[in-house]
Amino acid sequence: MRTLKATNYSLGALAGLALYAAAGAGPALAQDTIKVGILHSLSGTMAISETTLKDVMLMLIEEQNKKGGVLGKKLEPVVVDPASNWPLFAEKARELITKDKVAAVFGCWTSVSRKSVLPVFEELNSILFYPVQYEGEESSRNVFYTGAAPNQQAIPAVDYLMQKEKVQRWVLAGTDYVYPRTTNKILEAYLKSKGVKDEDIKINYTPFGHSDWQSIVADIKKFGSAGKKTAVVSTINGDANVPFYKELGNQGIKAEDIPVVAFSVGEEELAGIDTKPLLGHLAAWNYFQSVETPVNAEFIRAWKTFTKNDKRVTNDPMEAHYIGFNMWVKAVAAAGTTSSDAVIDAMVGVAVPNLSGGYSAMLPNHHITKPVLIGEVQENGQFEIVSKTPGLVPGDEWSDFLPDSKDLIADWRKPLSCGNFNVKTGKCGGKGS
């Protein structure tokens, strides 16, 4: 696997303390704060996953303000609701940048929402921190990808099922949009490179919010009855997961028979639902609440205190925001300004603690280093970690398993400053997104 290494991860110093301007100071108030955009769906099919990301950003901003803010100024969150409406994401992003004058935006979950806002951030030269696992095949100068690339989640999950569960037949089940389709394209190529035959791969897509899983699960059950160990690799997103797992239980499909490994089901999605149909099924992430480290224990304590709810859980995209936000704070402090160009240049090489232990670093391709964890669903809605990489895995923006991507790299440092540089031709293909 090709890897990129970031060097000179200096920790740097955070900004000094400052007093917050009194409330009601009129127009001067905006000048005395640094605005931070929060672009997450608080309604619609993705609210089940995204609302908690808005909440964790508010917590992180509040904690940073208690430390004195950034560059002597307090941070001011600006929250908008794009309502699981993909074109509305672009409209709300433009408002945040042009009207609210935010210094950076933390947001999006689905890849279709990220693709919707990407031209806006590039046109207006603003910064987006994207906190969710995605399909790769992209590297934009204006985006920092703090979620997992396929080599940090999907491929290690398949490797685990091959090696530990001896899986030979594969159902690739996803929601019908860019992330599942591209991820499954990569996984199909990867499986075939491992000798898996066409007849042992079944691919299925359903719309957002799909609820009638009876016939699809029956097909999965039939596909798994051919005498070969079968698994489901799930890129099903949002609230469709609840009836999917319920139907697995209704049809008597247990994890020991046909295990499901999910890339979009974490602690937040399991909270408040009957976990019996999910027991023993798997998820692949870079963080679980059950990680036992001092920094994670403190994060969980702070989260429960902030939400005033001992039952609120943490999850992987929350950790990605934790990492991305702290990286942004350090880069702004190093740059001495919130100017996009200066912060973008300062971001590469920044390293901050992750919650699993150690430091995650921002690479020249605008992806980060992360551990890869496989967790098994427990009755209490938590995950027992059954596999963890020995070290951190660098995010690979362009897949080694797709013909059009295998020769591409991204490096946003000068003088290259390219998102899709072809190492064979020596040419940059454009913006890289």
Q: Is 297 helix (H, G, I), strand (E, B) or coil?
A: helix
Q: Are 140 and 162 in contact (CB under 8 A)?
A: no
Residue 6: predicted pLDDT:
36
Helix ranges, 139-213 (H): 154-164, 178-193
Residue 281: predicted pLDDT:
96
Residue 3: predicted pLDDT:
38
Q: Are 139 and 420 in contact (CB under 8 A)?
A: yes
Residue 5: predicted pLDDT:
34
Strands (E) located in 40-194: 74-80, 104-107, 128-130, 143-145, 169-175
Residue 25: predicted pLDDT:
32
| Cis, bond preceding 317 (omega within 30 deg of 0) | no
Q: In what order do the strands lie in the sheet with 408-411?
A: 408-411, 418-422, 427-428
Pairing mode of beta strands 143-145, 359-361: unpaired
Instruction: Return the bridge partners of 282, or none.
Output: 261, 376
155: number of Cβ within 10 Å: 24
User: What tokens does 421 get?
Assistant: 């540089």
User: What tokens does 202 get?
Assistant: 């079944």
Instruction: Return the bridge partners of 360, or none.
Output: 352
CATH number assigned to the domain with residue range 151-285, chosen from the 4 options 3.30.2010.30, 2.60.40.10, 3.30.420.40, 3.40.50.2300: 3.40.50.2300
List of residues 6+ apart from 415 with CB closer than 8 A: none
99: number of Cβ within 10 Å: 9
Q: Are 315 and 322 in contact (CB under 8 A)?
A: no
User: What tokens does 430 get?
Assistant: 């454009």
Q: Are 387 and 376 in contact (CB under 8 A)?
A: no
Query: How far, in Å, are 45, 184, 230, 300, 397 from residue 189 at the CA level?
Result: 30, 8, 18, 39, 16
Residue 378: predicted pLDDT:
94
Residue 273: predicted pLDDT:
78
| Predicted model pTM | 0.88
**pLDDT tens track of the chain, all 433 residues?**
433 333 333 333 333 323 233 333 333 334 689 999 999 999 998 998 999 999 999 999 999 999 999 999 999 999 999 999 999 999 999 999 999 999 999 999 999 999 999 999 999 999 999 999 999 999 999 999 999 999 999 999 999 999 999 999 999 999 999 999 999 999 999 999 999 999 999 999 999 999 999 999 999 999 999 999 999 999 998 889 989 999 999 999 999 999 999 998 899 888 877 888 899 999 999 999 999 999 999 999 999 999 999 999 999 999 999 999 999 999 999 999 999 999 999 999 999 999 998 999 999 999 999 999 999 999 999 999 999 998 999 999 999 999 999 999 999 999 999 999 999 999 998 544 4
